[in-house]
Amino acid sequence: MLTTTTSRSDQVSGLNSRAFSGTSRQVFRRFREEDCDLALWERALPAPAALLCAEWVSDPGFVDLDVSGEPGPALSATLLKHPLFTRAADHPVAHWILDDVGFLATVFTDLAECGKVRVRLSKVSDHGCAAFHIDNLPVRLLCTYAGQGMQWAGEPHVRRTELGLRGRTTEETNTAIVPDAAHIRTVPTGAVALFKGRLGTSGQGHGLIHRSYPVCCSDHSRLRLVIDPAGHAY
């Protein structure tokens, strides 16, 4: 049987915003708190699912998934039409991933208080958003099924006034925003990060400062699930 483990919860404190992490999805309950910018469910993927995701990310013929809809039977039916999942009924591991995507979409809809979502499952082989930034939307969910997850830094270790390139290189910008690289944290593979953007309900209107994991070659390719409220500009 494919299972994931759940148990503890702990807080990462900040000045005006907070991040919570735990090995139970109950950590998402903290997301509704006004000054919570990140709720991180630290889980490990079942080994068969991790292996299949690694195979997908190394497949040169991989086709990205990008669909929108209301979580439930309709969205599941749409997902089943994608090449990744057309044979999921006869492939228990692919079916687990399909169910996980659907489950996370439902969780997101509840916490983001939105009716419809945009779901993307993509193979990413470049730097993505290499500079530390805040997303210009209310809330986002990220889960990296294969490869390294996004990187972020807690409130005491960031300089929000330094956000933006301002004619600097990406490296110069990142150093200005997070002066001490020792405080940069990486979301583990398989973990689920739910975080607020500029339009979130954080008391200070902060949003989580984060960036894509730095890559140097195709060996750092990753399989990334992104769930957003449908209809927002990104």
Q: Does residue 4 belong to any structural domain of this protein?
A: no
197 falls within a domain: yes
What's the first-to-final CA gap in the chain, in angstroms? 38
Asked whether residue 188 is assigned to any structural domain, the reply reads: yes
Instruction: Please tell me the predicted confidence (pLDDT) of residue 159.
Output: 93
Residue recorded with tokens 């039409």? 81
Residue 206 lies in a domain: yes
| H helix or E strand, kind and range, residue 105 | helix 92-112
76: tokens are 């599941």
Ordered per-residue pLDDT tens for the chain, 234 residues: 454 433 334 444 333 568 999 999 999 999 988 888 999 999 999 999 999 999 999 999 999 999 999 999 999 999 999 999 998 888 999 999 999 999 999 999 999 989 899 999 999 887 668 899 999 889 999 999 999 999 999 888 999 999 999 999 999 999 999 999 999 999 999 999 999 998 876 545 578 999 988 876 556 789 999 999 997 655
19 lies in some domain: yes
Q: Domains in the chain: how many in total?
A: 1
Q: Which domain holds residue 166?
A: 9-229
Does residue 123 form part of some domain? Answer: yes
> What letter does residue 130 receive in the DSSP assignment?
-
Give CA–CA dist 13/156, Å, rounded: 8
Residue 193 in any domain: the answer is yes
Question: Going along 99-219, which residue ranges are E strands?
Answer: 117-124, 139-146, 151-152, 185-186, 192-196, 210-211
For residue 93, being part of any structural domain is answered with: yes
**CA–CA dist 8, 152 (Å, integer):** 21
Q: What is the DSSP letter of 174?
A: H
Nearest to 18 by CA among 229, 196, 160: 196
Q: Is the pTM of this model over 0.85?
A: yes
CATH number at residue 100: 2.60.120
